[in-house]
């Protein structure tokens, strides 16, 4: 797909009333002056400055839609709700049929759907707009829970911070996980979350937080123990069924998935201390063995504990 692997060309298309946050993420990951893997162009419909959704913040751009002509990747950040300009949709369609990788961040997915690029594909967007995307574009399989979705040539992300997860994922695809880890480290960010993890959707019952507070605090303090879901339920004085329901409402995942996530986060902290062996990291985080830690680490982050340590250890 890339015409020159040494200089991957990225065009960031700012549609009218572009979201400043998502736009800044794309520019920071692919266009920062310490980035030597990509050349990045910020473009608009006609090369004119664009207004953002942030009051008082307008942006000058480098090019018009012609920037899409030789781009290897086109990124469409979130923009004001409504139909995107027809000439932008036509340019996206042409770029897609040239083999260009097309990426949306947050509600940028609406532009891709309007251009017909998501028909028959799985896609995501900010959870708040997921039902609207599904209603307006019934041929799109909308996944309201995914942080990002990789459908090969077309990729979509959920809202705001998930845009960073997808951008770092793209760096990993293009240049390997070590490059993605280094980029995350440079941005003072944790290792990116895998796309299959759930977006945070507010719980429908406010009691979930209170009911889980003691459970999660106890589990976080005792990750070295072989904690089971039954142990969590007993600690919270709930049935396992109630515990599952509360975890789904509060965290968008099962108690077991949450526990694994906490163990992995603790492992990341310990791995930054190169004096602690991988076996000891596994023991302290309740993963049991280094083999088990490696399996979960690779499943969640698409890299190994050793590679993570190499990138992050002081």
Identical fold, 8-186 and 207-312: no
Closest CA to 8 of 31, 24, 34, 42: 31
Instruction: Work out the average pLDDT over 67-88.
Output: 96
By percentage, how much of the chain surpasses pLDDT 90? 62
- In the chain, what is the greatest distance between 2 CA atoms, to the nearest angstrom? 62
The least confident of 32-46, 66-80, 222-236 is: 32-46
Instruction: Work out the average pLDDT over 14-37.
Output: 91
Comparing 188 with 268, the larger pLDDT belongs to: 268
User: Rounded distance, CA 40 to CA 112, Å?
Assistant: 20
Can you give the residue ranges of every domain in the chain?
Answer: 8-186, 207-312
For the beta carbon of residue 81, count every other beta carbon within 10 angstroms: 10
Tokens found for residue 89: 């949709």
> What confidence category does residue 213 fall into, taking pLDDT thresholds of 50, 70 and 90?
confident
**What pLDDT, on the 0 to 100 scale, is given for residue 269?**
85
**What pLDDT, on the 0 to 100 scale, is given for residue 195?**
67
* pLDDT at residue 246 greater than cutoff 90: no
For the beta carbon of residue 121, count every other beta carbon within 10 angstroms: 17
Instruction: Work out the average pLDDT over 238-245.
Output: 92
Distances 178 to 128, 224, 274 between C-alpha atoms, Å: 33, 28, 17
**What pLDDT, on the 0 to 100 scale, is given for residue 91?**
98
**What pLDDT, on the 0 to 100 scale, is given for residue 145?**
82
Instruction: Work out the average pLDDT over 142-162.
Output: 92
pLDDT, tens digit, 9 for 90 and up, residues 186-211: 777 666 666 666 665 554 434 455 66
> What confidence category does residue 247 fall into, taking pLDDT thresholds of 50, 70 and 90?
confident
Tokens found for residue 141: 């399989």
Instruction: Work out the average pLDDT over 38-64.
Output: 92
**What pLDDT, on the 0 to 100 scale, is given for residue 206?**
40
Q: What is the mean pLDDT of the chain?
A: 88
Query: Which H/E stretch holds residue 291?
Result: helix 290-301
Which one is the CATH code of 207-312: 1.10.3720.10, 3.20.20.80, 1.10.150.530, 1.10.10.60? Answer: 1.10.10.60
* pLDDT at residue 167 greater than cutoff 80: yes
**What pLDDT, on the 0 to 100 scale, is given for residue 3?**
42
User: Rounded distance, CA 124 to CA 157, Å?
Assistant: 6
**What pLDDT, on the 0 to 100 scale, is given for residue 177?**
72
User: Rounded distance, CA 31 to CA 73, Å?
Assistant: 13
DSSP annotation of 120 reads: T
- E strands within 29-72? 38-43, 50-51, 58-59
Instruction: Work out the average pLDDT over 94-116.
Output: 98
Question: Are the CB atoms for 155 and 134 separated by under 8 Å?
Answer: no
pLDDT, tens digit, 9 for 90 and up, residues 124-136: 999 999 999 999 9
**What pLDDT, on the 0 to 100 scale, is given for residue 88?**
98
CATH of domain 8-186: 3.40.50.880
> What confidence category does residue 2 fall into, taking pLDDT thresholds of 50, 70 and 90?
very low
Tokens found for residue 186: 């440079």
3-state secondary structure of 261: helix
User: Rounded distance, CA 306 to CA 298, Å?
Assistant: 11
Q: SS3 string of 169-219?
A: HHHHHHHCHHHHHHHHHHCCCCCCCCCCCECCCCCCCCHHHHHHHHHHHHH
* pLDDT at residue 77 greater than cutoff 90: yes
Owner of token pair 């880890």: 181
């Amino acid at each position: 797909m890339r015409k020159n692997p040494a200089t991957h060309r990225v065009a960031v298309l700012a549609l009218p009333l572009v979201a400043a946050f998502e736009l800044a993420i794309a520019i920071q990951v692919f266009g920062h002056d310490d980035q030597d893997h990509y050349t990045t162009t910020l473009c608009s419909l006609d090369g004119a400055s664009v207004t953002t959704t942030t009051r008082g913040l307008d942006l000058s751009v480098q090019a018009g839609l012609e920037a899409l002509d030789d781009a290897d990747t086109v990124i469409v950040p979130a923009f004001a709700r409504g139909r995107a300009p027809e000439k932008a949709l036509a340019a996206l369609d042409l770029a897609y049929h040239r083999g260009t990788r097309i990426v949306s961040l947050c509600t940028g997915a609406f532009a891709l759907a309007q251009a017909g690029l998501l028909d028959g594909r799985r896609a995501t967007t900010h959870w708040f707009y997921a039902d609207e995307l599904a209603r307006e574009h019934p041929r799109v399989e909308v996944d309201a829970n995914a942080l990002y979705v990789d459908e090969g040539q077309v990729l979509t992300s959920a809202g705001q911070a998930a845009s960073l997860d997808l951008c770092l994922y793209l760096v990993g695809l293009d240049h390997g996980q070590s490059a993605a880890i280094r980029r995350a480290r440079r941005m003072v960010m944790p290792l990116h979350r895998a796309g299959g993890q759930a977006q945070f959707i507010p719980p429908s019952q406010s009691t979930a937080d209170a009911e889980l507070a003691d459970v999660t605090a106890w589990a976080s303090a005792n990750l070295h123990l072989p904690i089971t879901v039954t142990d969590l339920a007993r600690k919270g004085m709930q049935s396992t069924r109630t515990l599952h329901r509360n975890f789904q409402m509060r965290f968008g995942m099962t108690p077991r998935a949450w526990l694994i996530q906490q163990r992995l986060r603790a492992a990341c902290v310990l791995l930054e201390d190169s004096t602690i062996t991988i076996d000891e990291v596994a023991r302290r985080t309740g993963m049991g063995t280094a083999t088990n830690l490696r399996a979960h680490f690779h499943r969640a982050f698409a890299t190994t504990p050793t590679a993570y340590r190499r990138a992050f250890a002081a």
